[in-house]
Each structure stands twice: as structure tokens, then as C-alpha cells.
Amino acid sequence: GAVVSQHPSRVICKSGTSVKIECRSLDFQATTMFWYRQFPKQSLMLMATSNEGSKATYEQGVEKDKFLINHASLTLSTLTVTSAHPEDSSFYICSATPGGGPSSTTQYFGPGTRLTVL
């Protein structure tokens, strides 16, 4: 099956620093990638949808200047949490889809990145 990797798997940082998370599709080209956030005992919440070569589409309530998304190639999307604060501590998960129409809507999930901001 299709494989999506994320790096790092876990990061601990100080308040005020920026953290970059990478999401890679290893064996397919991902036209679209999604970024989710999951707080303890809550559902995955979609933060943004990123399409290769264009600006990301952010969900309501997600600050685009705080969560910078770059999807510069068909196999890599990055999420940068700028000026991170303790309330940004969460489990960040990406997913990727080959796109190409309704038959390709399966999303393949990365293993997630656990961010802890001190």
C-alpha cells in the first residue's frame, strides 16, 4: 500500500520557537495533502488542505500566518508552527491523496508528529 512518512515523530520545544513538520509520500505523487490536529480524547480536526504548487486552503478558525504550509513538490508538504505556545501542543497528522478524481479519494495517513511546547 501507499506509504506516507512524517518527520519528526516527536518534538519538544520552548515557547516562542518555530517548528517544522515534514510530510512525504514515499511511493506515489500526492496532488493533495491534508493537515490534521488531534487533541487528547478528541477527534482529528482538519486544519488545512494543501495542493501542490498553490496556496493552502485553511479551515475556519485556523490561523494561516501561524500555521504555514508549503507544498512545493508532489511528494512533500511542510507545516511550520510559528511562535509555538503550550496550547499548540498536540498530535499533528498529515495525509496524502493521489487525487485525479473521485476514484482517487483514498487518504493515506502519516504516523503523526507529537508536539510538546514547554
Partner 1 sequence: RKEVEQDPGPFNVPEGATVAFNCTYSNSASQSFFWYRQDCRKEPKLLMSVYSSGNEDGRFTAQLNRASQYISLLIRDSKLSDSATYLCVLHGDSSYKLIFGSGTRLLVRP
Q: How far is the CB of 97 from partner 1 (least distance, A)?
A: 6
Query: Smaller CB distance to partner 1: residue 49 or 70?
Result: 49
Q: How far is the CB of 16 from partner 1 (least distance, A)?
A: 26
Q: How far is the CB of 77 from partner 1 (least distance, A)?
A: 14
Per-residue burial over 76-91, b = 16 or more CB atoms within 10 Å of its CB, e = otherwise:
bbbbebeebeeebbbb
DSSP tally for the chain: helices H, then strands E: 0, 11
Give the residue among 30, 90, 44, 32 at the shortest CA–CA distance from 66.
90
List residues near partner 1 by CB under 8 A: 32, 34, 41-46, 49, 91, 93, 95, 97, 99, 105-107, 109-112, 114
